[in-house]
Structure 1
Amino acid sequence: MGKSATVADAFTPLLRLAFGAQPPIRFEFWDGSAVQPDGDPPGTMRIRSKDALSHMVWAPGELGLGRAFVSGAVDLDGDIFGILRALQDAVPGNARLGVAGAWQAAGAARQLGALTHRPKPPPEEAPPARGRLHTRNRDAAAISHHYDVGNDFYRLVLGPSMTYSCARFAASDDDGRAAAGPTVSLEDAQHAKHDLICRKLGLGDRPGMRLLDVGCGWGSMAMHAASVYGAQVVGVTISNAQAELARKRVVEAGLADNVEIRQTDYRDLRGEQFDAISSIGMFEHVGANRAAEYFDTLRALLRPEGRLLNHAISSIGGSTIRPRSFIGRYVFPDGELLDVGEVVLAMERAGFEVRDVESLREHYALTLREWVANLESGWAQAVSLAGEGRARVWRIYMAASALGFEDGGLGLHQVLGVVPDSRGHSGLPATRRDWR
C-alpha cells in the first residue's frame, strides 16, 4: 500500500461492490480512516485490526465476520438493531460477491497484509461435534455449550423471571383473559405467557393436576403452575446448571412439595402418567428426524384427555442451523427449526388431535429487544461474568434474531394437542374464549 493510501482506500472498492455508491453505515478502520455515507447512518462498524479481514478471508461469509466480531477485531457502535437492519436491507441474504468480488477481496487482503497468518477462532466457539446427530451424548454437549454459561449471566440478561423463551406482551382484563396492553414489563409478559399456557392446558380444571414440563429451564413455568394453579409438577432438563438453580429456586419459593426437578433426557421418561405436558423453547433441540419419537414419547405419558402445549420457534419450510454458520458455531449447535405445518402433522401422526395453533412472532421480537437492553445496560457485569467474547455473541445473536422475528424470517408458534378418549372426547372447551 502506498505511503499516502489509507485502509479506507483499499476497502472502498469492496464496499462499492457490496453496497453500491453509498454504504448503509459508517465504516472506520484501524488507521483512523473512514468511509462515511451521506445522511445520518444508524451507526458505525469499526474494523480495529487486519485480523478482521483475515477472519473473513479464511472463513468467508457470516462465520468469518462473526469471528471478527466475537474476537473484538470488529465493533458495532450505535443502534445495533438499526445497523443490522441497514446492512440486511443493503445486502439481501442471497447476494454474493461472485468470482470477481472474491478476487478483489483477496487482493485487498494481500495489499493490507492480512494473508500472513490464519487467526484462531475465539474460544467461545463450540467444540467439534462427535457422534450421530441428536444422540443423547451429542445433544447433552450442545445443550451444555449454550445453557451452562453461568446462571448469573442468564439472570442479568433474562431478568428476575429467569425465563428463556418468548414472552407475551399482554395485560389481563377483569375476567383473567388477555387484553392488549400499551406498556407491559418483561416480567409481566413472562407471567402472562406462563398463565396462558396453564389455561390452555386446563390446569385450573381441578386441584392437584399433574404437569410435566419438558425442558424446564430454571423452573419458572413449573413454579407458576404450582403456585398459581396448585399443580403437581415434574420439570426435566439435561443442563446441570439449570437443574441446580431450578431446585434451589423451588425450595426458596416454598414449592418443594409441589415441584420436582429432574436432570434427565426426555427419551428416558416412561411408565408415568400426566394430565398435561408443556414444552417451551425445547423443541428446537429435538431435530426433524427425532420429531416422531419425541411426540410418541410425550403421547405415551398422557392420560386420555391429556393435553400437550408445544411452544417452539419455526421457519417456513424448516431449516437446519448449519455447522459453519455463526449460530451453529457459537449459539445453538445442532439446532433445527421445523415448519409449523410439519409440527402439526407430526403431532397428529403420534395420536394427538390438534385443537389450537397460535403465533407469537411479534412478541418474540419484543422479548429479544428487552434482553438486548438488559445486556447492554449491564455490559460491564456481563463481561465479568461470562467474558467479553460470550457477551458479544449474545448481543449480536439476540439483535439479529429480533429482526428475524420482525420481518417474518422466523416464527414462534404454540400448538395445542389433546389425546382423545376412547369415545373421541377431548375434554377441551368448545371455544378459545373459555380458556382465556
Structure 2
Amino acid sequence: MAAGTGHADRLAAALGVVLGTEGIPLRLRAWDGSEAGPLGAPVLEFRSRRALRRILWSPGQLGLSRAYVAGEIDTPGDIFAAFTALSSAGKFAEPGPFRRPTAGELLVLVRAAVRLGALGPNPAPPAEEAKVRRTGRLHTRRRDSAAISHHYDVGNDFYELVLGPSMVYSCAVWEGIPADGADGHGTGNGLVEGLDAAQEAKVDLVCRKLGLQPGMRVLDVGCGWGSFALHAASRYGATVVGVTLSAEQAKRARERAADAGVADAVDIRVQDYRDVPDGPFDAISSIGMSEHVGRAGTPRYAATLFGLLKPGGRLLNHAISWNAGVTSPDPDSFIPRYVFPDGEMISLAEMAAALETAGFEILDVEALRRHYALTLRAWVNRLEAGWDRAVELAGPGRARIWRLYMASSALGFENNLTGVNQVLVRRPGGAEPPLRRTEWL
C-alpha cells in the first residue's frame, strides 16, 4: 500500500504489517481526511481513532468488525470492491477468520497507535453483539431459542425490505445471470427485479423434488415466514405443519396464510423440531435450517427427521456447506458474534454421512453455490436502495451488520469457501421412486 501524508501514511504502514494489506489495491482514508494507497482503488475509511483502538484490543476480524458495526470504519464506495480487495489476501471473505498478528506485528500496531493518539481503554462492544457463551452445552432448546431470536426477531418489516415480497431467506434458484450483470455476478437492477421469481422457482423445485400431491401432510422445519408452506398448500394441495423458534416469523407466517386463504391447510407453530409430536409425515422440507444444528447435533437431527417421516417419504435438506476444509467455529469471529450465534457449517460429505447413518437413502444432490452468490447480491442491492428505511426500522448498527454479512458472504460463495446443496433423501419402504430424476421433475 503506497504511503500518503497525514495520519493515513502511519495507519497504512501499521495495517500493512498487521492485516497484510501491503500491496493490496486498496486506498486508506484516515479521520483527518488524509489518504494513502493507489489512486482510484476502493476506499476503506477509518472515521475515528477508536477504530484503531478496537483493532489493538481485539486484533484481527473481531476488532475490525466491531469498528465497522459501530460506524468507525466504512466503505464509502462499492462494498463488494472493497471486500474483494481485502479478500485478495484472504482477509475478509466470510466466514474465514483473519490471521491473528504475531507479537512483533502487534508491537508495530501499538507504536502506530501511540503516534496517532489512539491508545486508551477497550471500547465497549456495539450493543448489537450477541453474548456468546464459551462454556455450557450447545444447542439446548433454551440456547437455540435465544440464538434464533437474536437473528430473526429483528423485525418483519426490516426483513421484508431486504428479502422482498417473497420473504424467502435462503438461496434462490436463477435461470441465469441477469443481463446487467456484466461482471459475471450480477450487480444491477436485474437481480432485484428477478429475485421474487427466482425464490418462487426455488420453493417450487423443493415441492417437485418431494413429489407433493394433494392431501399429503408435510412438515416444514424452520419454516421462516411461511413461503414454502404457502406454496405447498396453494399450488400442490398439501397440508403443512411449519415450525420455527422465532415468534416474529410465526406471527407474519400466520398472517400470510390467512391472506392467501390457506390458513386451514397451514399450521404454523413456535416449536422446536425435536418436540413435534404428531408425525409421521408424507414429506419433510428443511430449507436453510440445519446450519443452526451444529456438527455434534447433526446425527440426532437426521435421526429425528427419519423418525418423523413415513416409509417411502422424502426429505429435502437445503443447507450451506463449508468447502474450505475441516474447521471449528471461532466464537471471536464476526458471524457468531453478530449474525448466527452457535451456528456451524459442516461439509456436504458430513451431512450426507449423517443422513445415510440415520437410515435414509440418498436420491439426489444439487449444488447451488453460484445461485446463493446472486441471491446475496440482490439482497445487498435491496438493502442499500432502502438504507434510510432500514436504519429507521432496525437501527444503524443492525443495518451495517446485515450489509457486512451479506456482502462478505456473497464473496465466500463466489470464491468457493462456502457452498449450498439440496440433498434429497427418502426413508426406505413404500413405493419406489421413479428410475430417473427427470421423471420426478
Give the Cα separation in 2 of the matches to 1:318 and 1:217: 29
- Residues 221-275 of structure 1 show CA distances to partners (whole Å, capped at 9, x for unaligned) of 0000001100010000011111111111111110011111011001101342110
Counterpart position of 2:395: 387
Give the Cα separation in 1 of the matches to 2:306 and 2:90: 45
Counterpart position of 1:123: 127
Counterpart position of 1:349: 357
- Does the alignment pair 1:258 with 2:257? no
Contact 1:358–1:414 at 8 Å: present in 2 too? yes
- Does the alignment pair 1:194 with 2:195? no
SS at match of 1:261: strand
Counterpart position of 1:427: 432
Give the Cα separation in 2 of the matches to 1:210 and 1:223: 13
Counterpart position of 2:83: 84
SS at match of 1:311: strand
- Residues 250-309 of structure 1 show CA distances to partners (whole Å, capped at 9, x for unaligned) of 111100111110110011013421100000000000111111111111111111110000
Contact 1:269–1:297 at 8 Å: present in 2 too? no
Give the Cα separation in 1 of the matches to 2:22 and 2:51: 23
- Does the alignment pair 1:156 with 2:161? yes
Amino acid at match of 1:13: A
Contact 1:122–1:389 at 8 Å: present in 2 too? yes
- Does the alignment pair 1:330 with 2:330? no
Q: How does 1:65-214 map to 2 (within 5 A)?
A: 65-91=64-90, 97-129=101-133, 131-170=136-175, 185-204=194-213, 207-214=214-221
SS at match of 1:78: coil
SS at match of 1:307: strand
Amino acid at match of 2:342: D
Counterpart position of 1:408: 416
Give the Cα separation in 1 of the matches to 2:121 and 2:36: 26
SS at match of 2:318: strand
Counterpart position of 2:26: 25
Q: CA deviation at 1:51?
A: 0.3
The alignment yields a C-alpha RMSD, in angstroms, of 1.9
Counterpart position of 1:242: 249
Give the Cα separation in 2 of the matches to 1:307 and 1:195: 15
Give the Cα separation in 1 of the matches to 2:402 and 2:372: 16
Amino acid at match of 1:123: A
Q: CA deviation at 1:429?
A: 1.5
Give the Cα separation in 2 of the matches to 1:266 and 1:192: 26
Q: How does 1:50-65 map to 2 (within 5 A)?
A: 50-65=49-64
Give the Cα separation in 2 of the matches to 1:9 and 1:374: 35
Identity %: 55
- Residues 161-186 of structure 1 show CA distances to partners (whole Å, capped at 9, x for unaligned) of 10000000028xxxxxxxxxx98710
Amino acid at match of 1:113: G
Give the Cα separation in 2 of the matches to 1:198 and 1:414: 12
Give the Cα separation in 2 of the matches to 1:312 and 1:303: 22
SS at match of 1:27: strand
In structure 2, stretches of 5+ residues that fail to align are: 177-189
Amino acid at match of 1:384: E
Deviates more, 1:388-397 or 1:268-277: 268-277
Q: How does 1:271-350 map to 2 (within 5 A)?
A: 271-316=278-323, 317-350=325-358
Instruction: State the TM-score, normalized to the length of structure 2.
Output: 0.90
Contact 1:52–1:73 at 8 Å: present in 2 too? yes
Give the Cα separation in 2 of the matches to 1:237 and 1:154: 16
**Relative contact order higher in (CA < 8 Å, ≥ 6 apart):** 2
Counterpart position of 2:38: 37
Contact 2:132–2:336 at 8 Å: present in 1 too? no
Q: CA deviation at 1:98?
A: 3.0
Give the Cα separation in 2 of the matches to 1:11 and 1:57: 12
- Residues 83-110 of structure 1 show CA distances to partners (whole Å, capped at 9, x for unaligned) of 1011110355775643322111111112
Counterpart position of 1:175: none
Give the Cα separation in 2 of the matches to 1:258 and 1:287: 31
> Against the structure 1 CA distance between its residues 396 and 416, is the aligned structure 2 distance closer, same or farther, given a 3 Å change threshold?
same
Number of equivalences: 416
Amino acid at match of 1:9: D
Give the Cα separation in 2 of the matches to 1:16 and 1:167: 38
> Against the structure 1 CA distance between its residues 191 and 105, is the aligned structure 2 distance closer, same or farther, given a 3 Å change threshold?
same
Give the Cα separation in 1 of the matches to 2:330 and 2:15: 27
Counterpart position of 2:11: 11
Amino acid at match of 1:192: A
Contact 1:320–1:337 at 8 Å: present in 2 too? no
Amino acid at match of 1:112: L
> Against the structure 1 CA distance between its residues 20 and 120, is the aligned structure 2 distance closer, same or farther, given a 3 Å change threshold?
closer
SS at match of 1:233: strand
Contact 2:306–2:427 at 8 Å: present in 1 too? yes
Q: CA deviation at 1:343?
A: 0.8
In structure 1, stretches of 5+ residues that fail to align are: 172-181
Instruction: State the TM-score, normalized to the length of structure 1.
Output: 0.91
Q: CA deviation at 1:426?
A: 5.2
Give the Cα separation in 1 of the matches to 2:148 and 2:387: 24
Amino acid at match of 1:35: A
Counterpart position of 1:176: none
> Against the structure 1 CA distance between its residues 21 and 148, is the aligned structure 2 distance closer, same or farther, given a 3 Å change threshold?
closer
> Against the structure 1 CA distance between its residues 299 and 362, is the aligned structure 2 distance closer, same or farther, given a 3 Å change threshold?
same
> Against the structure 1 CA distance between its residues 270 and 295, is the aligned structure 2 distance closer, same or farther, given a 3 Å change threshold?
farther
